[in-house]
Structure 1
Amino acid sequence: MVQPSHFGRYVVIRRLGSGGFAAVWLVRDEELDAEVAVKVLAEHWVDDLDVRRRFVEEGRFLRKVESPYVVGVHDIGTTDDDRPFLVLTYADRGTLADRIEAGPLSLADTVDVIENVSAGLQELHDRGVLHRDVKPENVLFRSTPTGERAMLGDLGLGKSLEAVSRVTMPGGTPAYVAPEQVRGDVLDPRADLYALAAVTYAALAGRPPYGAKTLAAVLAVDGPPASLRTVRDDLPAEVETVILRGLSQDREQRWPDARSYAEALRAASQASIPEAATGRSSARPWIAATIVAALLGSTAGYLGWQYGVNRQWVRVVDQQQVLSVELPRDWTQNRAGSGWQPQGATASLPGLLVSDNNNDWAKAGSTVSGVFAGVLPPGQLPDANNLPGPSGCTVSPEAITKDSTATVRYLGCPAGMTTYERVKQFQGQLVRIQVRAKDAAQAEKVLDSVDYKPK
């Protein structure tokens, strides 16, 4: 294929890839001085009116939703040889298919990706659009100021829910398509949910659940796929249960929507993470709730941050932008902030964890410096003597319940570290805080910097 020099005002840099119907090019919008992607209809389809219609319709579907989790359409045009093209958000970090090819993803990374993709799917469904081709190749990654974000792209097979309220033509990618879509049944969002569950399975196993090569093979499937736990022994049974429900051949047995699937997957994924505190107990389960096990999110992409006057310290804000904390910049190697679900809560609540290493935060004897803050369910401010704490720590005599705070300081927790546990009431809202540091003065400064501002 000869590389064109431009598409309208867009100067071509290089080809990113191609498929049966279109090629995608990296281009520069010289007016805006920005890199974007241009998807151009393939030459041999230029005279096929139905293909042209579906190509342009993809752009219309994408324009229906303005979401950070769905590839955006910025412009539409026609080449000099009369081929339509779409100007799209450039995903500079490749696809999920690329990553699966390199090997299975970790459970934490998989859950993060699926949460992003499910958010995009839910946006499409809420606006009356069915994707119909959710697969790893259509999960794209884009850099953000604090990490990266997964996005859902390629609505070449997309349909409005109004259109799929009637019998449809079979279609989809065999390894990921729902059986009712192959049969040409009337479709609803649960067809996309099946594909999302199949993508989850593939991310964890390194291969799709059934590996069907043809649409006919999809209808020959009988029974659940091979157990994920035979492929990897680090997955809790709860995770497999969530995925298998999503892969049910009977759509009535699947999760009702993408949002509930993602929430269930996140909750199930925590079953494998050890408890952060095993020492003192409390009659209040939401006070004793494990921090790491209840956290939602594990990558830098969930947090915003900004420098303070002293650039060695930064203020970090959770995804919902209600919790923030100021801390030394060298503590921020790992950041998670899409929320948490403490015991006693019926849904996720704002929460963040920032530390040298989130994976080691919960380990016994950990010397990782960091801070956790999480909104608690409604309740009364507890007495400081009832606050939980890491095992093996000596509680200082200054366990204090005062005004709107209950605070305990742990010394030698472990050796050479100072740990604070606090529950603070902000405008009637309880927030749990834990800080661990080698420098006691730093720990106290971080503890006092935590702020809660409801939207």
Structure 2
Amino acid sequence: MTISRRLGIDSIGRYRVSGLLGTGAFASVWRAEDDTLDAPVAIKVLADNWARHLDVRERFVSEAKLLRLADSDRILRVLDIGELPDGRPYFVTVLADGGSLEDRLAKGPLPEDEALAVLVEVAEAVCVLHALDIVHRDLKPSNVLIHRDRVVLADLGLAKALAQGSGLTQVAGSPGYMAPEQSRSGAVVDERTDVYGLGALAHRLLSGSTVGEPSARLEGRLGRAVRRALQADPDRRWPSARAFVEELRAVAAGEKSLSRKRFVLPGVVAVSVLGLAAGLFYWQQKPVEQQRQQQGAAPTTTVKPIDPALCRAGDLRVLTGGDGAEPLNSNRRNMELFFASDKRECKLFGRLEDVRFVQADGKVIPLRYGDGQGEPVEVQVGEGGWASVQLNWDVDAKNRDVKPLTPARMEFRLPGSLDLVVFPWDKGPVGDGGQVEVGPVVWATG
């Protein structure tokens, strides 16, 4: 008899429960199967003894909303939310399949170039949150998961929307990773609090010890960058996570080994999202690589280090060409995006990712996306080099009684990066449910 049956839980909503991944002070996390989509999921359920505490319940639901709001491959994705018959709320996330960073560190320290690659990935995830005015407040290895080949940030149970006010009235965080101001009731918590958390995570990855424990001094430019992040006075830290991550990238660019090596993450059989408010994880380690290969298992997944030659959002100017109708089709419009760089020569290769149109109220316009024709070309942008991408969209509404919608802005991510590029949209309406095609990166012409 499975543990789920012993506890009297066979299903949660439409999901078939297959086992308990773990329990914590505020919630339990279950492994379940989505039989409709034929995929495993993790379901976090608020503990019964907290279900009637409105503040805890609100924080639990808020966590799901914040995770959903992030809508990024760098943040653990929420797929669904609901309530059990007894009124306890739950939300469903993807089931991380690659372990936690804490699990990896338990096997030994990381080489410096691998640690740098991971730090950059985590810092970029934090930048995604900060772009939404969300501060995480609990950055630690157990809250960093590996899903497929990506570093994924989890546990927003302590996160707080900065737009709701900067005064913090509740002491929250984890010893060894918590900024000093988090232990003071009423202190201001902002982006610099997460800068400290990133510095504490860097200290653990690079020295093998948490802040406050005996460890070797970190030397050189990297050591100075970490020590600045760990300043007790927030005004003396890096002013933002973006400033810190750019310094880490500069250090990484000077480490030739970083561009040659990959960060290898051991396989894990079952990893839950229990690092979310509960702060506990359940996992089962797989055998070592040699044993796995003898059993015919696939090689362990890897996280590729950042290629410093790739263009970042901060490097580029994005311009748009004039729009017009496609020949013989007045319902299709087209335009060209141009990319230029005045800061440094960098390269673009591939296709734009996560392209979407957003209305002024923040709602994403529902559209179908397809790739434009042609193959991408590696383009060196800067010093006279310009890249371009063709964009075609449908202005015909799916329902002819509904007028086409006019976006306030267009958003997308650069190929090879999760940097979000946002610019105002002034090219007219797009069709609700219409088709959008985005061509590959090519050399700009004309």
- TM-score, length-normalised on structure 2? 0.59
Q: Determine if contact 1:351/1:374 at 8 Å carries over to the other structure.
A: yes
> Is residue 246 from structure 1 mapped to residue 248 from structure 2 by the alignment?
no
Q: Determine if contact 2:207/2:215 at 8 Å carries over to the other structure.
A: no
Shift of 1:300: 9.5
CA displacement 1:178-219 (0-9 Å, x = unmatched)? 1112113111111011101111111222221225xxxxxxxx
| More relative contact order, 1 or 2 (CA 8 Å, 6+ apart) | 2
Shift of 1:375: 3.5
**Percent of counterpart pairs with the same letter?**
35
Q: Determine if contact 1:76/1:85 at 8 Å carries over to the other structure.
A: yes
Shift of 1:227: 3.9
- What residue is the counterpart of 2:53 in the other structure? 48
Q: Determine if contact 1:55/1:156 at 8 Å carries over to the other structure.
A: yes
- What residue is the counterpart of 1:261 in the other structure? 244
Measure the CA separation in 2 of the matches of 1:263 and 1:111.
12
Equivalent position SS for 2:171: coil
After superposition, the Cα gap between the structure-2 partners of 1:44 and 1:299, relative to the gap in structure 1 and judged at 3 Å, is same
- What residue is the counterpart of 2:407 in the other structure? none
Q: By percentage of residues, which structure has more helix?
A: 1
Equivalent position SS for 2:346: coil
Select the structure of larger CA radius of gyration: 1
- What residue is the counterpart of 1:453 in the other structure? 442
Measure the CA separation in 2 of the matches of 1:85 and 1:257.
33
Measure the CA separation in 1 of the matches of 2:303 and 2:146.
19
Which AA in structure 2 matches 1:338?
D
CA displacement 1:359-410 (0-9 Å, x = unmatched)? xxxxxxxxxxxxxx8847516xxxxxxxxxxxxxxxxxxxxxxxxxxxxxxx
After superposition, the Cα gap between the structure-2 partners of 1:186 and 1:296, relative to the gap in structure 1 and judged at 3 Å, is farther
After superposition, the Cα gap between the structure-2 partners of 1:7 and 1:67, relative to the gap in structure 1 and judged at 3 Å, is same
- What residue is the counterpart of 2:193 in the other structure? 191
- What residue is the counterpart of 2:309 in the other structure? 340
Measure the CA separation in 2 of the matches of 1:296 and 1:261.
23
> Is residue 350 from structure 1 mapped to residue 372 from structure 2 by the alignment?
no
Measure the CA separation in 2 of the matches of 1:67 and 1:337.
17
Q: Choose the corresponding residue for 1:21, options 18, 23, 26.
A: 26
Measure the CA separation in 2 of the matches of 1:334 and 1:153.
17
Measure the CA separation in 1 of the matches of 2:237 and 2:261.
24
Which AA in structure 1 matches 2:237?
R
After superposition, the Cα gap between the structure-2 partners of 1:336 and 1:178, relative to the gap in structure 1 and judged at 3 Å, is closer
Q: Determine if contact 1:96/1:140 at 8 Å carries over to the other structure.
A: yes
> Is residue 172 from structure 1 mapped to residue 177 from structure 2 by the alignment?
no
After superposition, the Cα gap between the structure-2 partners of 1:253 and 1:264, relative to the gap in structure 1 and judged at 3 Å, is same
Shift of 1:69: 0.3
Is there any run of 5+ residues in structure 1 with no aligned partner, and where?
212-224, 230-235, 274-291, 302-332, 353-372, 380-424, 429-450
Shift of 1:110: 1.9
Shift of 1:269: 3.3
- What residue is the counterpart of 2:87 in the other structure? 82
Aligned residues: 294
Q: Determine if contact 2:344/2:382 at 8 Å carries over to the other structure.
A: no
- What residue is the counterpart of 1:155 in the other structure? 156
Shift of 1:297: 8.5
- What residue is the counterpart of 1:8 in the other structure? 13
Is there any run of 5+ residues in structure 2 with no aligned partner, and where?
266-301, 312-340, 350-377, 389-439
CA displacement 1:216-259 (0-9 Å, x = unmatched)? xxxxxxxxx84444xxxxxx611111111111111112112222
Note the aligned Cα RMSD (angstroms): 3.3
After superposition, the Cα gap between the structure-2 partners of 1:8 and 1:37, relative to the gap in structure 1 and judged at 3 Å, is same
Equivalent position SS for 1:350: strand
Measure the CA separation in 2 of the matches of 1:25 and 1:348.
48
Measure the CA separation in 2 of the matches of 1:97 and 1:111.
16
Q: Choose the corresponding residue for 1:36, options 33, 41, 54.
A: 41
Equivalent position SS for 1:162: helix
Q: Determine if contact 1:341/1:348 at 8 Å carries over to the other structure.
A: no
Q: Choose the corresponding residue for 2:96, options 80, 85, 91.
A: 91
> Is residue 207 from structure 1 mapped to residue 204 from structure 2 by the alignment?
no
- What residue is the counterpart of 1:378 in the other structure? 383
Measure the CA separation in 1 of the matches of 2:177 and 2:116.
18
TM alignment of 1:43-442, pairs within 5 A? 43-143=48-148, 148-184=149-185, 185-211=187-213, 226-229=215-218, 237-273=220-256, 295=259, 298=262, 338-340=307-309, 346=343, 349-350=346-347, 375=380, 377-378=382-383
